[in-house]
Structure 1
Amino acid sequence: MPTISDKGALMPESPIRKLVPYAEKAYKEGKTVYHLNIGQPDIKTPQIALDAVKVHSLNILAYTRSEGSEEYRQKIANYYAKNDIYVKHDDIIVTTGGSEALLFTFGSIMDVDDEIIIPEPFYANYNGFSTASGVKVVPVISKIEDNFALPAIEEFEKLITPKTKAILICNPGNPTGYLYSKEEIQKLAAIVKKHDLFLIADEVYREFAYDGNKHYSIMQDFGLEDYAIVIDSVSKRYSMCGARIGCLVSKNKDVIKTALKFAQARLSPPTLAQIASEAALETPQSYFDEVITEYVERRNTLITELQKIEGVKVAKPKGAFYCIAELPVANSDDFAQWLLEEFDVNGETIMVAPAAGFYSTPGVGLNQIRIAYVLNKESLIKSVNILKEALKAYNN
């Protein structure tokens, strides 16, 4: 019998999606499941984006350019300029989601067995992208006790080897909601220039910075023209996860030239989704003001309710819409499955993402979960109450 590849065997399951069969079974049993496991906002997509698809005048749904339409890329560049990020349209490659932008980046700058340093916990699919590219993740651990702040720069330098090609951050962070300060970006800029590395920043949550804090992009005034690669996406910004449109941005011409070859190999990003994404760029600031206000209220509600549960430790996010909670359980994978299979409160239960999958260090994060506060405040309060009752039952 033929066998699968070693790479396939090593490919990690998504901690966000692997429990779906158990959730579907819970539905069939008549349970209501509150989804705290996935970053799918319940915020409405801007109507201008939906209308653009409804009223398009295309007669043929044709390929677009491999790097995305020039008009759309020019409008993306204009959007960045409004955020004090100054790039040209030919510094941008439109991708099928931020995921493809990451895969193109890994393929463009790293060879098999090269290394990338990532502060953990990190977006779980970074593990998958690394495995698919034959790249080794070298983690530098940030801790819940420090609210997942960037570890000391000395911790990064200890890990740099001749195989190290890049440092990757997510800012604001998924799964922690951590927002990097200007000083932290400056420190990272200094280290990548000193050691001739790339600095990759996943900035898909750029708009979601709270409490008066400002988001700083690595494409701003940090002197990283040859070093910086930004990953971006419309998924969270406009609540358009299903559009699957993202982009890779870099002023390094060799990076763009190389990534374009990967883009050509997959032909082109989806046409209708580009139309919707281009229209979404006209979304007024009032939309984001309302969304940010809503997320801050949800965050405050969630953190306040979690802090009432004995034995639960939680870090306060400064951005995005996730938090990591540490639970009084030995194994959150087992607990998360049990929640769906065996527990409910009046026919209601919750689905969470076990946090071990957001680490690459074995055995770390086993008692943690990631919670996405993408539900309304009433549902979040119900969800935390279910979690409270579940912990009592599970530990007894």
Structure 2
Amino acid sequence: MPDISIRGLEMPQSPIRKLAPLAQAAKDRGIRVYHLNIGQPDLPTPQCGLDALKHIDRKVLEYSPSQGYRSYREKLTRYYSKYDINVTADDIIITSGGSEAVLFAFMSTLNPGDEIIIPEPAYANYMAFAVSAGATIRTIATTIDEGFALPRVEKFEELINERTKAIMICNPNNPTGYLYTRREMNQIRDLVKKYDLYLFSDEVYREYIYTGSPYISAMHLQGIENNVVLIDSVSKRYSECGIRIGALITKNAEVRKAVMKFCQARLSPPLIGQIVAEASLDAPESYYREVYDEYVERRKCLIDGLNRIPGVYSPIPMGAFYTVAKLPVDDSEEFCRWCLEEFSYEGETVMMAPAAGFYTTPGAGRNQVRIAYVLKRQDLERALLVLRKALEAYPGRVTDEEA
């Protein structure tokens, strides 16, 4: 039989989805599974988006332009202006989700062997897209004990060499919920300018910032306008993960020209998704306010509950709707598997994402999990009780003396 490609062998499994068969098997046994593993919001999609979907009146569901409909891109410019992100419709390319935007950004700017510096833990699919582009991830370590704050600039410069092509950040961060400070963003800007690097900035969670600190977009950084590639998506903003609509935004005309070649090769972004996304931009302020307030309450419920469980620690996330928590276990992946295969409490169990999959450093995150607070508070409270019971029963629990 022919061999599998090197890319196929090197492509990492998703830490978010790879335990899904075990969760399904648990459900088949009649066990209720609380899904804390995936950022799939349960809050409603804006009614204006749903209405647009219901009232599609077309004789043909045709290809859209490869860069997306201009009417949608024009409307997006007004949305971004609310965040002092000043772009034109021509700066925006619509993609099949934020994931395709990351992939096309990498494919258009990186050669095989080029290196990207990414703070870890990081969204696991960045690693997968780097493999697709033949690029190498170099990670800059952040730690749970320091709340995942960036290290000093010298740590970045230790990694920069002739193969370094880009820095990538997610702000607010998935998986940690960290929000980069103005000082940290200026530090990144200075590095990008000094070494003439690309800055890929995934900012899909900008609506969800829970502190008085300002949201500093990469698009706000002066002097590196042609180095910045912004990644965006409607998946989390409007609970529209399934319509697969994202965006790649850059003022760099040469990058856009290269990205368009990949866009043309995949033909077009989803027609129906763009119709829904464009209509969703008309969501009233009350929609955003209600969603935001709900996440504030869920964050408090989850973080307070986690830190009351003996041996568990989570810093307070400042944005997005995730946290990385340290558990008193020897191996969080084995613990997550055990929860799905062998454990239940009153017919219920929890599913979490082992955090090691968000690191590239071997052994890092081994006793951590990423938890998404996308369930209603009643379910979060129940999931926390089930997690507490699981940790009490787990044979691989680590004692305070061993930790």
3-state SS of 2:229 partner: strand
1:67 is matched with 67
Residue 271 of structure 1: aligned partner: 271
Amino acid in structure 2 at the alignment position of 1:98: G
Letter in 1 for 2:102: L
Q: CA deviation at 1:54?
A: 1.2
Over residues 67-110 of structure 1, what are the superposed CA-to-partner deviations in whole Å (9 max), with x where a residue is unaligned?
00111111111111121100010001000000000000001110
> Is the counterpart of residue 107 in structure 1 residue 112 in structure 2?
no
Which AA in structure 2 matches 1:364?
A: A
SS state of the match for residue 188, structure 2? helix
Contact 2:93 2:249 in 1 (8 A): yes
Aligned ranges 1:286-301 → 2 under 5 Å? 286-301=286-301
Describe the superposition over 1:293-323 as per-residue Cα deviations: whole angstroms up to 9, x where unpaired.
Answer: 1111111111111111111111110000000
Aligned-partner Cα distance in 2 for 1:54–1:387 = 40
2:401 aligns with none
SS in 2 for 1:329: coil
Match of 2:82 in 1: 82
Query: 1:381 is matched with which residue?
Result: 381
Corresponding position of 2:340? 340
State the Cα deviation string for residues 187-217 of structure 1 (Å, max 9, x = none).
1111100000011100000110013332111
SS in 1 for 2:344: coil
Q: Is the 8 A contact 1:53 1:275 kept in 2?
A: yes
Q: Mark the runs of 5 or more structure 1 residues left unpaired by the alignment.
A: none
Deviation at 1:222, TM superposition (A): 2.5
Is the deviation greater in 190-199 or in 205-214?
A: 205-214
- 2:285 corresponds to which letter in structure 1? Q
1:142-181 equivalences in 2 (<5 Å): 142-181=142-181
Q: How many residues of Structure 1 are paired with residues of Structure 2 in the alignment?
A: 396
TM-score normalised by structure 1 residue count = 0.99
2:233 corresponds in structure 1 to: 233
Is residue 252 from structure 1 mapped to residue 252 from structure 2 by the alignment?
Answer: yes
1:125 aligns with 2:125: yes
CA offsets per residue over residues 120-157 of structure 1, 9 Å max, x none? 00001111111111110000000001100112111111
Q: Which sections of structure 2, spanning at least 5 residues, go unmatched?
A: 398-403
Q: How many angstroms apart in 2 are the aligned matches of 1:59 and 1:162?
A: 54
Supply the distance in 2 between the matched residues of 1:182 and 1:76 (Cα, whole angstroms). Answer: 25
Q: Secondary structure of 1:231's partner?
A: strand
Match of 2:400 in 1: none
CA distance in 1: counterparts of 2:156 and 2:212, whole angstroms: 29
- Runs of 4+ aligned residues of structure 1 deviating over 4 Å after TM superposition are none
3-state SS of paired residue (1:278) = helix
Which residue in the other structure is 1:38 paired with? 38
Partner of 1:379: helix, strand, or coil? helix
* Equivalence for 2:58: 58
Cα distance between partner residues in 2 of 1:56 and 1:28 = 37
What secondary structure, in the 3-state scheme, does the structure 2 residue paired with 1:12 have?
coil
Q: Which residue of 2 aligns with 1:22?
A: 22
Q: Distance in 2 between matches of 1:242 and 1:152?
A: 39
- 1:323 aligns to what SS in structure 2? strand
8 Å contact kept, 1:186–1:222: no
Q: Secondary structure at the match of 1:129?
A: helix
Q: Distance in 2 between matches of 1:114 and 1:337?
A: 35
Cα separation, 2, equivalents of 1:58 and 1:141: 51
Determine the C-alpha separation between the residues in 1 that align with 2:193 and 2:211: 31
SS in 2 for 1:229: strand
Alpha-carbon distance in structure 2 between the residues aligned to 1:82 and 1:322: 25
Q: CA deviation at 1:221?
A: 4.3
